[in-house]
């Protein structure tokens, strides 16, 4: 097969081409990117009624030494549940050594690392004084990794009081718990117990290693916070942005019913905007449009939802003097966020009220914010939309062969009218396992197809981005992690080959293929490190045979040295990465000894090969 490239002609790929989609799914945020260690920190996960389930907190002590219950005496209006401990024992007589109290295992164990510091904050009230031990405890033997004593006399804690302290770990344990214990008889209430590592990205609360994984795919946009998370199985559990901003202690949290877990909404709307800014990506806010998975608001009653979306835009980009912009400013970000694109919901086009609701949102947003681009989730790739839009959302989850063949999907899509935002793509089910080479190679072909059609597909992102391996509700995902480690799936590493595509020049190229298993494209980009111009040729071989491949560059000279080859492949198509072998399938780089305008190369079976040829 031959790829003939005309390096003298091309067209610019949009700057926004390659991005990321963050959804609160698989504990991506709570117990993931959001570095909070305490799970159910406000004791709200068991619901608003008492007595309530305080899981995963557990009690240290027995009936004769401590009684733990919940009541509705919290200081915070929107999350009334507080924890009450009646301590029946008294040191030295009847308390067990180490005292009695409560323990939190975090999200399948807290990662506590030697030398790291953790800010522990909690609210406390007591009848009498308090004499509490706050500790990180590791291993079954109860070894203390860090500990602080907090003492206060009766008067000081007669009303709710905020306590803040720093714990410094003396040792490392990846599966630690936070314990609050005492050996002093009395009654103590606790609420909003938080433990955050100090070394989050810029102190913004994002777990550093996971942040870096996203940053290294250089996303030019960040779509958030969902996905179906935005809709909720039922509207009463949808993501309501106003409940996720302001002080963390005052956020009510909510049941992420579609993905089956409680979230404290520590990573809320503000943090999503901050995350996009920290990544150097444009935020794309997906808001709830009055439609859940199983219920919907009639268009005649949609007005409050429209106002909620307008308020959300004002929060993001209004002046610090505006009603909602001032709340943003009070959270430490007086400068508006660069919100230019919003999506009216997620996947509701076939719902009875979608079109009606959509128009109400569209008209109101265009009236107050005419520059904002609006995304519909009705598919405009086959037939014209029935309503105005700047972009239409397109999702594809399919098997590997179909994904490979979908590389031509947009070849015949309308060239006028709204453009396509491919905000979710992935090979899934049998071909994908937890992230196979087979899936990744097929996705590379699909991405090459999008690159070739980037005149009408200005944005693309993989989904889902993250999975906590303890909660693989949706698989595969791009980045897998647990409390302390992570790895990228082959699909994640494929994305690395496209990070240079945003803002690059797509070259005219023609593929004469002797097999149907090859897909290829060529771009010119400037390397951000050496500032030199490279022709990047990406070739997918979606077949089990080695292929001879000819690259024929016309219209430009190339340097004989300074070029390199990157290959993603593995001996078996169903191979995956894992915690024990995270680098089994990653890009492998080699130097091209002598590059020429006309070269013959070899393509490994089921591989993606990327040639960076120095111009």
Binding site for ligand AHR (CB under 6 A): 23, 25, 226-228, 346-347, 395, 424, 463-464, 474
Distance (Å, whole) CA 391 – CA 214: 24
Token pair recorded at residue 422: 């491919």
Name the region of 314 (left: φ>0; alpha: ψ -120 to 50; beta: rest). Answer: alpha
User: Which residue, 228 or 603, is less far from ligand AHR as judged by CB?
Assistant: 228
User: Which residue, 271 or 347, is less far from ligand AHR as judged by CB?
Assistant: 347
Length of the chain: 615
DSSP per residue, 369-419 = -TT-EEEESS--SSS--SS--SEEEEEEEE-HHHHHHGGGTTTTS-SSSSE
User: Which residue, 196 or 459, is less far from ligand AHR as judged by CB?
Assistant: 459
Least distance (Å) between residue 36 CB and ligand AHR: 22
Please answer whether residues 611 and 565 qualify as being in contact, where contact means their C-beta atoms are separated by less than 8 angstroms: yes
3-state SS class at 442 = helix
Token pair recorded at residue 517: 């298993």
Token pair recorded at residue 538: 């990406």
User: Which residue, 473 or 513, is less far from ligand AHR as judged by CB?
Assistant: 473
Distance (Å, whole) CA 75 – CA 411: 59
User: Which residue, 21 or 324, is less far from ligand AHR as judged by CB?
Assistant: 21
Least distance (Å) between residue 39 CB and ligand AHR: 22
* Cβ neighbours, 10 Å, residue 560: 12
Token pair recorded at residue 569: 């492949």
Least distance (Å) between residue 226 CB and ligand AHR: 5
Least distance (Å) between residue 513 CB and ligand AHR: 32
DSSP 8-state symbol, 129: -
Distance (Å, whole) CA 440 – CA 217: 15
3-state SS class at 283 = strand
Q: Which of 520, 522, 524 is closest to 539 using CA atoms?
A: 520
Least distance (Å) between residue 238 CB and ligand AHR: 12
User: Which residue, 138 or 225, is less far from ligand AHR as judged by CB?
Assistant: 225
User: Which residue, 18 or 466, is less far from ligand AHR as judged by CB?
Assistant: 466
Least distance (Å) between residue 292 CB and ligand AHR: 13
Token pair recorded at residue 179: 């314990």
Least distance (Å) between residue 377 CB and ligand AHR: 9
User: Which residue, 85 or 465, is less far from ligand AHR as judged by CB?
Assistant: 465
User: Which residue, 292 or 464, is less far from ligand AHR as judged by CB?
Assistant: 464
Chain residue whose CB lies nearest ligand AHR: 227
Token pair recorded at residue 554: 């016309």
What is the chain's percent helix, strand, coil content, to nearest 5? 20, 35, 45
Least distance (Å) between residue 575 CB and ligand AHR: 23
Distance (Å, whole) CA 20 – CA 534: 25
Distance (Å, whole) CA 16 – CA 36: 31
Least distance (Å) between residue 311 CB and ligand AHR: 24
Q: How many CA atoms lie within 13 A of 85 on its CB side?
A: 34
User: Which residue, 191 or 393, is less far from ligand AHR as judged by CB?
Assistant: 393
User: Which residue, 346 or 607, is less far from ligand AHR as judged by CB?
Assistant: 346
Q: Which residue carries 């090979």 as its tokens?
A: 427
Token pair recorded at residue 5: 């490239």
Handedness of CA 128, 131, 135, 140 (dihedral sign): negative
Least distance (Å) between residue 424 CB and ligand AHR: 5
Least distance (Å) between residue 197 CB and ligand AHR: 28
């Amino acid at each position: 097969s031959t790829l003939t490239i005309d390096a003298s002609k091309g067209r610019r790929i949009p700057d926004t081409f390659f991005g990321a989609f963050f959804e609160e799914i698989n504990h991506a945020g709570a117990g993931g990117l959001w570095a909070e260690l305490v799970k159910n920190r406000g004791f709200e996960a068991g619901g608003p009624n008492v007595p309530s389930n305080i899981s995963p907190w557990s009690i240290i002590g027995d009936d004769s030494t401590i009684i733990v219950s919940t009541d509705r005496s919290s200081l915070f209006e929107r999350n009334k549940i507080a924890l009450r401990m009646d301590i029946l024992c008294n040191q030295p007589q009847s308390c067990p050594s180490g005292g009695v109290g409560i323990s939190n295992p975090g999200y399948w164990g807290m990662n506590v690392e030697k030398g790291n510091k953790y800010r522990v904050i909690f609210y406390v009230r007591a009848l009498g004084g308090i004499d509490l031990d706050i500790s990180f405890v590791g291993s079954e033997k109860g070894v203390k990794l860090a500990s602080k004593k907090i003492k206060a006399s009766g008067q000081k804690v007669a009303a709710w009081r905020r306590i803040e302290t720093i714990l410094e770990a003396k040792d490392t344990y990846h599966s630690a718990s936070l314990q609050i214990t005492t050996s002093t008889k009395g009654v103590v209430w606790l609420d909003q117990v938080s433990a955050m590592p100090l070394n989050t990205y810029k102190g913004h609360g994002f777990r550093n290693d996971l942040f870096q994984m996203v940053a290294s795919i250089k996303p030019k946009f960040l779509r958030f916070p969902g996905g179906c998370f935005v809709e909720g199985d039922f509207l009463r559990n949808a993501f309501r942005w106003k409940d996720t901003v302001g002080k963390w202690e005052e956020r009510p949290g909510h049941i992420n019913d579609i993905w089956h877990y409680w979230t404290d909404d520590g990573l809320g709307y503000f943090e999503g905007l901050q995350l996009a800014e920290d990544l150097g990506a444009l935020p794309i806010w997906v808001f709830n449009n009055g439609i859940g998975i199983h219920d919907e608001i009639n268009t005649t009653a949609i007005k409050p939802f429209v106002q909620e979306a307008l308020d959300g835009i004002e929060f993001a980009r209004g002046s610090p003097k505006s009603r909602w912009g001032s709340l943003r400013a009070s959270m430490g970000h007086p400068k508006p966020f660069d919100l230019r694109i919003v999506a009216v919901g997620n996947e509701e086009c076939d719902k009875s009220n979608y079109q009606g609701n959509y128009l109400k949102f569209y008209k109101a947003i265009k009236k107050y914010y005419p520059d904002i681009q609006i995304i519909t989730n009705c598919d405009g790739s086959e037939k014209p939309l029935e309503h105005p839009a700047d972009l239409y959302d397109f999702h594809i989850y399919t098997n590997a062969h179909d994904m490979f063949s979908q590389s031509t999907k947009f070849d015949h899509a309308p060239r006028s009218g709204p453009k396509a935002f491919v905000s979710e793509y992935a090979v899934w089910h049998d071909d994908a396992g937890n992230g196979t080479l087979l899936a990744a190679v097929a996705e590379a072909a699909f991405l090459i197809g999008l690159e070739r059609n980037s005149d009408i597909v200005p944005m693309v992102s993989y989904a889902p981005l993250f999975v906590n391996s303890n909660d693989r509700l949706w698989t595969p995902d791009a980045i897998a992690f647990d409390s302390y480690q992570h790895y990228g799936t082959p699909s994640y590493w494929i994305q690395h080959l496209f990070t240079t595509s945003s803002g690059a020049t797509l070259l005219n190229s023609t593929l004469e293929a002797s097999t149907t298993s090859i897909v290829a494209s060529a771009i010119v980009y400037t390397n951000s490190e050496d500032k030199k111009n490279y022709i990047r040729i990406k070739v997918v071989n979606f077949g089990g045979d080695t292929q001879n491949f000819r690259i024929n560059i016309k219209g430009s000279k190339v340097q004989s040295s300074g070029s390199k080859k990157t290959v993603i492949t593995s001996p078996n198509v169903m191979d995956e990465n894992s915690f024990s072998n995270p680098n089994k399938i990653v890009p492998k780089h080699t130097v091209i000894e002598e590059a020429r305008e006309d070269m013959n190369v070899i393509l490994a079976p089921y591989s993606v090969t990327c040639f960076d040829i120095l111009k």
